[in-house]
Structure 1
């Protein structure tokens, strides 16, 4: 991010525009919506600029900018549409302490003006750092259509009521009140009755919320999916947006953590096979302690919480503490990995059953029905198998599996930078070692990529 988005207070402060043509007009139409003191310097101003000056909406000086003109200005726009003149006035304004924007010259601008959706006092700013103005305009048009016109009046009325709402406890109680107001009570009243009814409705709504008992804590055990934020379910996305506390696993993608409510308390509770880990009893204690204090806790797990997610232990702890809980499933890594290599996990004539296995459990390398798995045509998704690859290979070969059985290892399934290693049972441990896989990986036993061009970047080994 090269440009950090902020909202600058400019009410009553000087904002200068140098130029009087179309570029200046475009900026002034936007700036006239603010409460800034607008000053225009132009030798030949457009008629609209003269009219706005006559109406007292801005101050017009009919000459080029000179030294001293930009002193105490908060913002400065160089909009002369002349490269030499814009370079000159930009240097002057910067020397006098103003933040400068050279219209249509990103490299020489200290700030940029985003595309804006105006529902005063609700403002949405859209920027692409100059990379895609057409995209910014398309997003603006989409948001203009989505955001109702009464959003601004609702926000203005709500602003006058914020002091009264401080009677509610901080946190969930206040958020629940404002959620009721903005998404239910407020829109219903303002559409049908108008501002006066909305204000009276606010008082009734506040009285209702003040009479309520403090909401008990609750816990959602949420699947974050394999890593691609677009594979997150809508229900999981909503839970992240509402959570007071998010307790997350090591493998949850940063892009998904970024979707959590900004004020939420974020707690890392990672586990790593054969590595440093937070104990399960400590994780259960974290979840129950926060929920017992009235928080909405999201326990965020990579993939699907019902697949090797220690779900039962956490549910047992919640029930023992008398806390409400729910499970929000996610897309498991096996599904994402199979999609990435263009294969089905089950196929008529090949395998009518699918096994989900773990490469290791609490006791070490996990034992399974090796004889059944060694039969031709069997397919298994094996989680946490990188370190146990040689153990898996030995057990399967010992029980009659063919050395040529295809095996595909998918690292960072669905994520940017994901990789696919296509190999065989005979080569599995050697190829995993040489590939130096560092991210989370799942092993698809009995499957090979449909085609290299349909898979993730392929690390197909040349064994010639």
Structure 2
């Protein structure tokens, strides 16, 4: 072991930072977060450091470095641009038995600043002994994604009640069961939902009992996004890591399912049009069955649960049956497909509003207000409309939409197989047939779709010229 890992208590202890630039500002800010009394020495200060000085949060030694700046300091950070000066600061610090860090120079340093994940009071520090700082940063990012931001609040709450917990559960095995309940049960869920008072009440109520409550099941309605695993949110990833059971839509990318806990039970509840179809009542029954058996269930939906995903129906069902539920939003197809095809959904010159529309069957088409949809200066984002493109086009033209209105039809949005078909509205059905566009695909209709010809950047670009706005882009 090349380095001895430790966590230093610097609260109210004097620390010296030599240097007045951006790097020194970052080091000073981190030391202030740890409660240190920071002195910065430099001829001039960067704006961030000047602001800290104006707020009386740091002390300032103006001018060139002097040896006596180190008097009384617990540790020293050398963050100047001069290696000879940094070497002098380090040499004098070591002679005075100070801990010295020279930024980006492990050979001169007696301590190094690790990559840190902060869930105070939990801290996770990663060091590569200065050999591979980029790897340390990447590991920090990976671990960061696994640790819920609410974990710090949970630990602070447990710390406040530690004595009462030990008194109530003197037996070590019972205490462990209690802490498992605390981490996996309703207290943590309430903290994640930004309800700290309710979380504390729940903890106090359970501490009044003698027995540790049985673990209750729960459901998380998770949006898997449009397909690209890189667009999955951190909260969604954590839910997949915690799940005992995953009920997933057919369109969820298998690469996203591969990110789940290895021993989680995965159940496909597909609803692809014209193919396998799981009734919503069956999905409700599965959610209730597994949650009431004490399991942590993830209902994994493509896009966002509350945008044409029946998440609202499932939430109502779970509430009616007293099952704890959280919602993790996902990037809905309209946002992702627009971004990946280079189409802004709004534009101050061309579209002041966006309408999200579903058009997967004749029944849904019959409920639409076509006169409103045919108005100009708005963008239509039409979900599940591949099978009804002919009717969509006829209705929009019949209600006054300009036949030259540009469209962008995005198939497999955000995936490597994405194709973006462009052209004028009058040619939409014929072009879709010519290029054999298949679901899943999202239709964007409006003047902004004309920007796809110039701004498209992902996947294949097909079709006619919808680029009336391209020259202006």
TM-score, normalising length: structure 2: 0.54
Partner of 2:424: 424
2: CA distance, partners of 1:439 / 1:378: 24
Q: What's the CA shift for 1:213?
A: 1.6
1:10-59 deviations in whole A, cap 9, x for unaligned? xxxxxxxxxxxxxxxxxxxxxxxxxxxxxxxxxxxxxxxxxxxxxxxxxx
Q: Is the 8 A contact 2:220 2:298 kept in 1?
A: yes
Counterpart Cα distance in 2 of 1:311 and 1:184: 31
| Cα deviation 1:305-330 (Å, max 9, x = unaligned) | 11001112211211221111111101
Q: How does 1:302-321 map to 2 (within 5 A)?
A: 302-321=302-321
Equivalent in the alignment of 1:17: none
2-side partners of 1:406 and 1:400: how far apart?
14
Alignment of 1:318-397 (within 5 A): 318-360=318-360, 363=363, 365-397=365-397
- Which residue number in structure 2 is paired with residue 206 of structure 1? 176
Of the three residues 454, 459, 466, the one matched with 1:456 is: 459
Matches within 5 A, 1:151-162: none
Closer/same/farther in 2, CA of residues 302 and 362 from structure 1, 3 Å limit: farther
1:462 and 1:249 map into 2 onto residues whose CA distance is 35
8 Å contact from structure 2 (residues 431, 463) kept in 1: no
Q: Distance between the aligned counterparts of 1:147 and 1:372, measured in 2?
A: 47
Confirm or deny: 8 A CA contact 1:223 1:301 kept in the other structure. Answer: yes
Post-superposition shift, 1:276? 3.0
Count of aligned pairs: 282
SS at match of 1:282: helix
Does residue 256 (structure 1) correspond to residue 226 (structure 2)? The answer is no
SS in 2 for 1:387: helix
* Cα separation, partners in 2 of 1:407 and 1:367, compared to 1, 3 Å: farther
Q: How far is the alpha carbon of 1:400 from its aligned partner?
A: 1.1
Q: Equivalents in 2 of 1:381, 1:144: separation in Å?
A: 38
Single out whichever of 270-279 and 394-403 deviates more from structure 2: 270-279
Paired residue secondary structure (1:317): helix
CA pair 290-317 structure 1, distance change in 2 beyond 3 A = same
Q: Secondary structure at the match of 2:342?
A: coil
Helix, strand or coil: the match of 1:355?
strand
Aligned residue runs from structure 1 range 163-182, under 5 A? none
Unaligned runs of 5+ in 2: 1-131, 144-150, 160-169, 181-210, 467-473
Structure 2: how far apart are the matches of 1:412 and 1:329?
20
Residue 144 and residue 246 in structure 1: after superposition, are their counterparts in 2 closer, same or farther (change >3 A)?
Answer: closer
| 1:371 Cα deviation from its structure 2 partner | 1.4
Please identify which structure carries the higher helix content: 2
Structure 1's 249 and 138: CA in aligned 2 closer, same or farther, altered over 3 A? farther
What's the counterpart of residue 236 of structure 1?
A: 236
Unpaired runs of 5+ residues, structure 1, are 1-136, 149-179, 189-199
Question: Could you tell me how far apart the structure 1 residues matched to 2:375 and 2:290 are?
Answer: 48
- How many Å separate the matches in 1 of 2:394 and 2:359? 13
- Tell me if the contact between 1:220 and 1:328 (Cα under 8 Å) persists in the aligned partners: yes
CA pair 221-362 structure 1, distance change in 2 beyond 3 A: farther
- Whole-angstrom CA distance in 2 between matches of 1:147 and 1:436: 40
- Equivalent-residue separation in structure 2 for 1:263 and 1:369 (angstroms): 47
CA gap 1:218/1:387 in 2 versus in 1, 3 angstroms: same
1:208–1:250 Cα change, 3 Å: closer
TM-score by length of 1: 0.55
Say if 2:292 is the partner of 1:292: yes
CA contact (8 A) 1:341 1:454 kept: yes
Structure 2 SS opposite 1:260: coil
State the Cα RMSD in Å.
3.1
SS in 2 for 1:326: strand
TM-fit CA distance, 1:440? 1.0
Contact 2:250 2:270 in 1 (8 A): yes
Segments of 4+ in structure 1 off by > 6 A? 137-140, 143-148
Cα deviation 1:147-201 (Å, max 9, x = unaligned):
99xxxxxxxxxxxxxxxxxxxxxxxxxxxxxxx9xx979xx9xxxxxxxxxxx99
Q: Give the corresponding residue for 1:266.
A: 266
